[in-house]
Structure 1
Amino acid sequence: MSFPTPLTGVVPPVCTPLTPEREVDVSSLMRLVDHLVNGGVDALFVLGSSSEAAYLTDRQRRLVVETVVSQVAGRLPVLAGAIDMTTPRVLDHVAYVTEAGADAVVVTAPFYTRTHPAEIARHYRLIADRSPVPVIAYDIPVAVHTRLPPELVLELAADRALAGLKDSSGDLAGFRAVVSGARTRPGLAGFSVLTGSELVVDSALALGAHGAVPGLANVDPEGYVRLYRLCRAGDWDAARAEQERLCALYGMVGVGDPARMGGGSSSLGAFKAALHLRGVIACPVTAEPQVPLSDAETEHVGKFLAAAGLL
């Protein structure tokens, strides 16, 4: 389908259900797509952090995109991560995700290599020149160890190298600078600014963001759609109440024992446990070498779901 400019609304970063053998669970992924579409979301983002893209083989990544595009069947735009260390490797990903039918690609700055801002700009320009679909920048310094400077993002947007930004930087001032620039600078009317936060969607929308890419929307898509619509209607008191309910639900990401697992294992494990408990996916396992949740930790996830009215 045609890619909307600007892209607005709720865009869940779709989890990747796995079998006990750590292969892509196609049937569960199809159910998850339907769960999200039926929840009223505006687009889907596959092969990002919540998709465990860093853990998937290229074969598995391709299968994920093909499955989601097929199941969506043109109902919503599908954004696909083309995330890798350097420009040539990213371009390989761009080729197969667009062949599979992705409507846009999502790209981080280069990583592992030490990269100058001029090289980051060149990275995005080269990808934009060779991508048949729009390119959205993904600012996630916790993973790639490089912050995308707001002025660079706006410069690339003005040159039509970028169609949008998914901001997972945690830098509210920098995020505000991009939102303000997108609103006030000539020629940027179609540029989309999306927050990657679960916890401050109402604040981001109040600042002028176009939408949100919250991992927790896998678990409660209706909640985030409701929050988005309340914000757009200007009902800020109701929006605040819904945001606070979702903030309480987000507490599930802390169920894992930090003495034996990292935050990624805990949060992704919690999302998948919640989807399993809600009957959406068949198996809650995460990709290796992430540490699985214990039975007690999974039971704790269920308590968060019950408190949020989801069980």
Structure 2
Amino acid sequence: MKQEKLPTPLRGIVPPMVTPLLSNDALDVNGLEKLIEHILGGGVHGLFILGTTGEAPNLSYHLRHELVKRTCEQVAGRVPVLVGITDTVVSESLRLANTAAEAGAAAVVSAPPYYFTPSQDELVHYYKHLADRLPLPLFLYNMPSHTKVSFAPATVKAIAKHPNVVGLKDSSGNTVYFQLMCNALKDNPDFSLLIGPEEVTAEAVLMGGHGGVNGGANLFPQLYVDLYEAALTKDFELIGTLQNHVLEISSHLYTVSSCGTSYLKGVKAALSVLGICSDFMAEPHQSYQAEEKLKIRGYLKEIKSNMQGQYQSTVNL
């Protein structure tokens, strides 16, 4: 299987892909193919599967391995594929990492094992030992809202000394933390610092970050690529215009309900409305019903109208 070489540092927009499902243990294969082509068509710089947006903790191991194989086969080396291997069982993380390597993925991504909260010293020991055994480069994944622990900047700096640890995705939403991380890693120019929350992607790039892992890029990938490039060139007028589109997406599509998965339900419902893939959510979560989907459709019409012909889907709403 062709494997895309991982740039060091990895830069740009690396969408965290949703996992199109037909049921709790069946992929929406046609939807997966359409979604991958839709995202890659926006000029993104990589693809991240089996993260939070991919519902990884709620997917069976069989499904996770199948998704890795199918995704890598279709991407076929056009961009680097990053595979989430977060788990409470290290042997399962390693098994999935081996599948990823065999399929042609470029790197793996790991958030701290959840449920029991590790100390900072335990994180250093765990990730150095994990990196020793991985067949692919490793990105750390800071997701304190879900794992109950945040990587301290000193912890990341210590782990980053391992030659197989190549970057960090920060989804804390704390831009002060991200700036501290940029400062802590300033002497390691090959280490990639990527931001999760799309509302602050431009800000993160301006302060020295390398790009964004933005859920909205499932829907409008070129928008986020253009925002990243505008931040690189410090085109503040264009940043302002594109930032308004990004904020409109997050403030409307991600807030239809007040549940903890409102963001993900909104992205999946919007993809369904656009005719790209199924919006089935893995249990225990449920996809939006007709009333919520009608709101999503209305918001999509409004968003696309405000884009004035840019970033338009070919699907009529």
What residue number does 1:137 align with?
140
**C-alpha contact 2:219 2:267 (8 A) present in aligned 1:** yes
**C-alpha contact 2:24 2:283 (8 A) present in aligned 1:** no
**C-alpha contact 1:167 1:194 (8 A) present in aligned 2:** yes
Structure 2: tracts of 5 or more residues without a match? 305-311
Q: Deviations over 1:189-236 (max 9, x none)?
A: 110000001111111111111000011110110110111111112201
Counterpart pick for 1:278 among 266, 274, 277: 274
**C-alpha contact 1:150 1:175 (8 A) present in aligned 2:** no
Structure 2 residue 284 is matched with structure 1 residue 289: yes
CA distance in 1, matches of 2:25, 2:160: 38
AA partner of residue 308 (structure 1): I
CA distance in 1, matches of 2:303, 2:223: 10
What residue number does 1:228 align with?
228
Q: Secondary structure at the match of 2:234?
A: coil
AA partner of residue 279 (structure 1): G
Structure 1: tracts of 5 or more residues without a match? none
What residue number does 2:302 align with?
307
Once the two structures are aligned, what percentage of the paired residues are identical? 34
CA distance in 2, matches of 1:81, 1:161: 16
Residue 20 of structure 1, CA deviation: 4.7
CA distance in 2, matches of 1:2, 1:292: 36
Query: Equivalent residues in 2 for 1:209-248 (5 A)?
Result: 209-248=209-248
When normalised by structure 2's length, the TM-score is: 0.91
Choose 292-301 or 94-103, whichever is displaced more: 94-103
Name the Cα RMSD after superposition. 1.4
Residue 174 of structure 1, CA deviation: 1.7
What residue number does 1:298 align with?
293
Counterpart pick for 1:181 among 173, 179, 184: 184
CA distance in 2, matches of 1:272, 1:220: 13
AA partner of residue 221 (structure 1): P
AA partner of residue 284 (structure 1): D
Structure 2 residue 157 is matched with structure 1 residue 154: yes
**C-alpha contact 2:124 2:158 (8 A) present in aligned 1:** no
**C-alpha contact 1:121 1:156 (8 A) present in aligned 2:** yes
Counterpart pick for 1:40 among 33, 40, 43: 43
Structure 2 residue 251 is matched with structure 1 residue 254: no
Q: Secondary structure at the match of 2:86?
A: coil
CA distance in 1, matches of 2:287, 2:43: 30
CA distance in 2, matches of 1:151, 1:181: 7
**C-alpha contact 1:11 1:44 (8 A) present in aligned 2:** yes
**Alignment length, in residue pairs?**
302
AA partner of residue 168 (structure 2): L
Counterpart pick for 1:101 among 101, 104, 107: 104
CA distance in 1, matches of 2:47, 2:22: 22
